[in-house]
């Protein structure tokens, strides 16, 4: 069964990791795919080729998620190219970890604009179209760090907590127009972002995960597919933790 057949889905930051897995999962389930990247141009081209083979339309857009005007233009380009938008997945994100007293203003601003402001920018621009259609599903990628906090990640935790507050507000504001907005809070997922961590640290964390393993990008993608599709049509304003039980 194709759960998102002929929908138009935008996934930000899909050249690698979780975003890439979400783009593939939605395409495998019949959605046409628009996705963004910033620096990984070759990887974006490879993903375009891979998705084309699944028999759906696909287009990669270079777009800096932290730039409001770029995000607004991105949504307008997608409407021009695909004629509508049904699913918006805000996934692009970065870390710039440091202890509070060593954290620069630049690293604070970079993380907040890339992870949080980006979500405001795309949701604001896409909502104009969602409201005309009286439908739309927004899936914002937060993190369990946005729920519990973490030493050395004050900027990242603030950005991801912000995504949760923002998304709940959007769900309340746009629900009456048939637009849903939900959040996925991944735990520790194996991607370039977490591969940068030292092995010693990884072994320590696994002890606190009830399922005793790190997650895979495809396990976040499966939740994103559920939230994007009509299987979740009475669910909005929710935060789903996909974390192997770590925050239980
Ligand atoms: P990743 O492997 O580092 O990939 C990050 C993606 O975001 C890349 O495709 C990158 O594109 C894109 N990106 C970064 N800055 C961007 C910008 N300014 N504009 C557009 N795209 C940008 O990260 P990941 O682990 O897949 O993480 C994806 C999301 O899940 C993030 O929001 C992250 O915070 C969240 N998350 C991850 C984990 C985890 O354990 N991995 C846990 C909780 C939450 P380019 O390569 O083209 O620059």
Query: Mind spelling out the 3-state secondary structure of 40-86?
Result: CHHHHHHHHHHHHCCCCCEEEEECCCCCHHHHHHHHHHHHHHHCCCC
User: Is the Cβ–Cβ distance between 4 and 228 less than 8 Å?
Assistant: yes
Domain ranges of the chain: 8-239
Q: What is the pLDDT of residue 201?
A: 82
pLDDT at position 202: 84
Q: Give 12-42 as a 3 state SS string.
A: CCCCCHHHHHHHHHHHHCCCEEEEEECCCHH
The mean pLDDT values, 10 residues at a time, for the chain of 248 residues are: 96 98 98 98 98 98 98 98 98 98 98 99 98 98 98 98 99 98 98 87 91 97 98 98 97
pLDDT given at position 180: 98
Written as six digits, the tokens of 61 are: 């857009």
Task: Give Cα separations from 213 to 150, 188, 197, 204 (angstroms).
Answer: 20, 9, 15, 11
Length of the chain: 248
pTM for this prediction: 0.98
Ligand 1 neighbours, Cβ below 6 Å, are: 12-19, 36-40, 63-66, 91-94, 114, 141, 143, 186, 188-189, 191-194
- CATH number for 8-239 (one of 3.10.129.10, 3.30.1010.10, 3.40.50.720, 3.40.47.10): it is 3.40.50.720
């Amino acid at each position: 069964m194709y759960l998102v057949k002929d929908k138009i889905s935008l996934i930000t930051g899909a050249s690698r990791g979780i975003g890439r897995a979400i783009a593939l999962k939605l395409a495998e389930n019949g959605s046409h795919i628009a996705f963004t990247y910033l620096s990984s141009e070759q990887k974006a081209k490879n993903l375009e080729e891979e998705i084309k083979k699944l028999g759906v339309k696909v287009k990669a857009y270079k777009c800096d998620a932290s730039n409001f005007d770029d995000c607004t233009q991105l949504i307008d380009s997608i409407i021009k190219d695909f004629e509508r938008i049904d699913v918006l997945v805000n996934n692009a994100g970065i870390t710039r970890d440091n202890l509070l007293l060593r954290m620069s203003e630049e690293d604070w601003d970079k993380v907040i604009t890339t992870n949080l402001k980006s979500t405001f920018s795309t949701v604001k621009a896409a909502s104009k179209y969602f409201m005309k259609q009286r439908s739309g599903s927004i899936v914002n990628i937060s993190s369990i760090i946005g729920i519990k906090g973490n030493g050395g990640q004050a900027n990242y935790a603030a950005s991801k907590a912000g995504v949760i507050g923002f998304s709940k507000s959007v769900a309340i504001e746009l629900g009456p127009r048939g637009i849903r907005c939900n959040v996925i809070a991944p735990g520790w997922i194996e991607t370039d972002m977490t591969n940068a961590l030292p092995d010693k640290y990884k072994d320590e964390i696994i002890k606190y995960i009830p399922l005793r393993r790190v997650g895979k990008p495809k396990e976040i993608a499966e939740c994103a597919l559920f939230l994007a599709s009509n299987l979740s049509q009475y669910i909005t304003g929710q935060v789903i933790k996909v974390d192997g039980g770590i925050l239980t």
